[in-house]
Chains A and B, each alone.
Chain A
């Protein structure tokens, strides 16, 4: 059994989850609020401290320019790619962004100085939250994880996800494609052989994967998708309509108001979800300034509106089937993944495409995290439940090199099983040439300018030779994470060429390193600070309860000795509370708790008898009432 627990993480556009394999089955680890889902929302609070998840959501409507959601849509992308997304995002980008550069976001006011955040840093905050949830659950450190990514994510997007893991202090053992992870959860459950299609429509991305399952091997045959398509697009469509409405009816252009847009967004999302089970819903938004926006939406109207969006999933599905050489009838099962697949119209579309009812037993919000946990288990050496399981995934996009004439020369085709490699030979044009530049691309188009720039490699340190004499063997290897690795060797001299990578839209190794240190320092400090604050809050609660106790009739029943002891402990607690040592504070709290047990019992008795006389608990001044086991016990923080 592995000594280090490896967790599986679904880093989603809308929600994130962490899970692990508990015996025979994977299980989601809840946060300290008891929720399995951590909203992928990050905000800065009044003290410029990061707040993540449910707690961050209120900042979206109150101080939207200090909050970020759907950061996944910005991972591995440049400023030109996200113009659509920017329309409704309330935060601001740094002013001096260059093309090809990683995006930087400014949260908060200028007093933060030049503090901007890159998408991997924001994602790292979410990952750190999940890491802490897992550590709290296990009572032990967690440093290794499997993180899922959309199957259609390109190299830059995958690298950004890996960087985020590293910044959060996690060793990312594997990136797993989301549909493949879902199939693992499904296959573990069903244990049947066959051909499975996974239709994954999440908050920001769409993936369709076709897999062959047999004897524990999960082999992806083909995959396709759209990384610019998801529930968010449906939301944005409805927001646009609401904004047009308010402009028309109320004569107010709310686009400028971050608060208004976010309030509308909340209402629109609620309505969208409600329409999956109701046929009529009423939008009722209180706008800043007091005006109200009211609108009824029927399911029919909603379906008509979103048809063009969900129709965009048809093309990729047909292409995936074509690439697999299969007809819809040959698919044994269609598995639905992602919150957006709850929409009845989406299910109807899937049924029409694949000529069968989709499989809806698995929770579409959790299945990816559960699958990641299964893969984590396999990587950790496996267990009885997973001993025969192996994932064989593919690269979703063709890999090419730019050659003379601006054309792409494809060297690894899409849907090739990974790890996969290709070898190319290069030579020099000029006598003594020491460098060779290679531009690597991803995509299916003929021209380099229509493909996605993956990176520019500079092969350095080629030994001086006459032009055309050097024979440089360059090996392109796509690893099991779907990420490209390049190595080069000049054959005549046998010298390994030094490779310098200029990642497009990405961070260099040095940048990631520097971010890790920052993150760690503040994490430790944050953690410690929070412990102190929590301990002080508890101390205050118990001291306040003690004050009440002193005023109650029960106090009179204590002996002088007991009262003296209590006074001593109270004084000690007050003294240590002013300091920074949270462990000392807790010790003092425990001591005072112990010392006041009898007082509490007496107060309890009197409260009960008061109640029996017809008074309420409030009137008896009991605070939490009879359900609290000890009036001076820890308060439940919500």
Chain B
């Protein structure tokens, strides 16, 4: 079951249809994905759709080939990354993460304030302590001093945070299983409630928000340590 981007019989590129990335690869909207199969499909479709291999075709086909292969590349890029894939699916379901919200970004820019990011409650204490340490580090660097103990401590905290960030991916994958089960039931013709849908979406949004927060924190710490 694959979106028809090229004709199996004659091999010619077809006009691109407005499909989502899952449908493009002929995949159901499940979050667990066979990475190797996706890669194989990607290469196979590239050979069919890429402009380089369609340069002998007519102008219309060449135009379609350009559209199709950009769609292919965009779809592959999003689907092969577990986080991007989840975010994309949620977007298809009409849910937006607070970080991605365009309106929030625009409001923040025009008001000049930092975007509000909710600190995950279980991290409140840690984040507070870390911010104090980072401030200390910045002050030291300004006057040219070096405190190896402090740097080591911050480095250790960073490792711990990275561990938490990676653990959240596991938590997310737990929700994937639930989601995929629901999709399978839907495919089998069984009824699926709006509540269940919303519940699972909310769970995943929550994990992603927490993970995003930690990811940004890790990035800030890395930058502070490097400079």
| Residue of A217, A404, A420 contacting most chain B CB atoms (<10 Å) | A420
A416 contacts B by Cβ under 8 Å: yes
B interface residue count range (under 10 / 10 to 19 / 20 to 34 / 35 or more): 20 to 34
Chain B residues whose C-beta falls within 8 Å of the C-beta of A392 in the assembled complex: 46, 50
Q: A418 touching B73 by the CB < 8 A rule?
A: yes
A480 surroundings in chain B (CB, below 8 A): 50-52, 66, 69
Interface string of B55-98 (1 = CB under 8 A from A): 11000000000110111011011000000000000000000000
Q: How far is the CB of A414 from chain B (nearest CB, A)?
A: 12
Which of chain B's residues 107-143 have a Cβ closer than 8 Å to chain A? 109-110
A382-397 vs B, CB cutoff 8 Å, 1 = contact: the mask equals 1000000011100000
Which of A379, A407, A478 has a CB less than 8 Å from the CB of B55? Answer: A379
A638 to chain B, nearest CB (A): 41
**Contact at A217–B43, with CB atoms within 8 Å?**
yes
Is B47 an interface residue when CB atoms closer than 8 A count as contact? Answer: yes
Does the CB pair B52–A391 fall under 8 Å?
yes
Smallest beta-carbon distance A345→chain B, Å = 28
B77 touching A416 by the CB < 8 A rule? Answer: yes
Q: Does B106 contact A (CB under 8 A)?
A: yes
A173 touches B (CB below 8 Å) = yes
Nearest CB in chain A: distance from B40 CB, A: 10
Q: Any chain A CB within 8 A of the CB of B3? A: no
Q: Does B53 contact A (CB under 8 A)?
A: yes
Given contacts A416-B73, A420-B73, whether A390 and B109 have CB atoms under 8 Å apart is no
Report the bound CA distance from A381 to B57 in whole Å. Answer: 10
A381 to B109, CA, bound (A): 51
Give the number of A-B contacts (CB < 8 Å). Answer: 61
Does the CB pair B110–A405 fall under 8 Å? Answer: yes
* Residues of A contacting B106 in the complex (Cβ-Cβ under 8 angstroms): 403-404
Q: Is A172 an interface position by the 8 A CB rule?
A: no
The one of A378, A403, A404 that contacts B52, using a Cβ cutoff of 8 Å: A378
Cβ–Cβ contact B51 & A390, under 8 A: no
Query: Is B76 touching A417 in the complex (CB atoms < 8 A)?
Result: yes
Answer yes or no: A51 CB below 8 A from chain B CBs.
no
Q: What is the chain A residue whose CB lies nearest that of B68?
A: A419
A174: interface (CB < 8 Å): yes
Q: Is the CB of B109 within 8 A of A421?
A: no
Answer whether residue A479 sits at the interface, using C-beta atoms and an 8 A cutoff.
Answer: yes
How distant is the Cα of A143 from the Cα of B99 in the complex, in angstroms?
Answer: 51
Q: How far is the CA of A126 from the CA of B182 in the complex (A)?
A: 64
Min CB–CB distance A398 → chain B (angstroms): 14
| Cβ A404 vs Cβ B110 within 8 A | yes
- In the assembly, what is the distance between CA of A511 and CA of B52, in Å? 29
Nearest B residue to A215, CB-CB: B43
Q: Is the CB of B110 within 8 A of A217?
A: no
Which residues, 364 to 415 on A, are CB-close (under 8 Å) to B?
375, 378-382, 390-392, 403-405, 407
Q: Per-position contact with A for B31-42: 1 when CB-CB < 8 Å, else 0? A: 000000000000
Name B66's contact: one of A375, A378, A391, A479 (CB within 8 Å). Answer: A479
Known contacts A379-B52, A390-B52, A405-B109: does B66 contact A419 (CB below 8 Å)? Answer: yes
A417: which of B47, B56, B77 is its contact (CB, 8 Å)? B77
B67 CB to nearest chain A CB (Å):
8
**From residue 403 to 454 of chain A, which have CB atoms closer than 8 A to chain B?**
403-405, 407, 416-421
In contact, A477 and B53 (Cβ under 8 angstroms): no
Q: Are B73 and A173 in contact (CB under 8 A)?
A: no
Q: Which 10 A-B pairs have the closest CB atoms?
A: A419-B70, A421-B70, A417-B73, A405-B109, A379-B55, A480-B51, A419-B69, A381-B56, A420-B73, A404-B109
**Residues of B in contact with A (beta carbons under 8 Å apart):** 43, 46-47, 50-53, 55-56, 66-67, 69-71, 73-74, 76-77, 106, 109-110
A residues touching B (Cβ–Cβ < 8 Å)?
173-174, 215, 217, 375, 378-382, 390-392, 403-405, 407, 416-421, 477-480
User: 11 more A-B contacts (CB under 8 A) besides A417-B77, A419-B69?
Assistant: A381-B55, A382-B53, A403-B106, A404-B106, A405-B110, A417-B73, A418-B70, A419-B66, A420-B77, A477-B67, A480-B66
Of the A-B pairs whose beta carbons lie under 8 Å apart in the complex, a sample of 5, sorted by A's number, is A404-B109, A419-B66, A419-B70, A420-B77, A480-B66
